[in-house]
């Protein structure tokens, strides 16, 4: 019986996905968003990224970090500094990891 429920759930989720994604193709006239929604969507990626990254930097197990001796803080600062200086994403990642790994592995922060 469990296998039947699993298959039924997968088929149901697939149908919901297909229907919701093809909903816009079923309409015969073009569908446009209002200008204020289009402007708001420009900020969605950075807001989502900040919502994921900032808690990871300043929190440990649901609590704010209580010490400045945390490798993530210095790595984030190094990454931000690199990005402000050079505007490169790959360099930002490399700079952050170049600071994070020695502090975390070497000093145990």
pTM of the predicted model as reported, rounded to 2 decimal places: 0.63
Which stretches within 27-88 are classed as H helix?
Answer: 35-41, 44-58, 71-86
Quick one: pLDDT at residue 22? 86
Cα distances (angstroms) measured from residue 82 to each of 71, 79, 97: 16, 5, 12
Quick one: pLDDT at residue 104? 94
CB-based contact 45:61 (threshold 8 Å): no
pLDDT band at residue 32 using 50, 70 and 90 as cut-offs: confident
Whether pLDDT at 72 is above 70: yes
Of the candidates 70, 66, 74, 64, which has an alpha carbon nearest to the alpha carbon of residue 96? 74
For range 94-104, the mean pLDDT: 96
Q: Which residue matches tokens 């297909």?
A: 18
Quick one: pLDDT at residue 33? 87
DSSP letter at 87 equals -
């Amino acid at each position: 019986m469990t296998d039947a429920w699993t298959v039924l759930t997968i088929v149901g989720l697939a149908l919901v996905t297909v229907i919701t994604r093809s909903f816009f193709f079923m309409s015969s006239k073009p569908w446009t968003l209002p200008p204020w929604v289009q402007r708001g969507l420009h900020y969605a990626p950075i807001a989502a990224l900040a919502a994921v990254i900032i808690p990871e930097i300043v929190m440990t197990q649901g609590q704010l970090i209580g010490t400045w001796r945390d490798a993530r803080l210095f790595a984030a600062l190094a990454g931000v500094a690199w990005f402000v200086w050079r505007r490169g994403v790959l360099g930002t990642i490399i700079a952050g990891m170049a600071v994070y790994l020695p502090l975390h592995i070497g000093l145990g922060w």
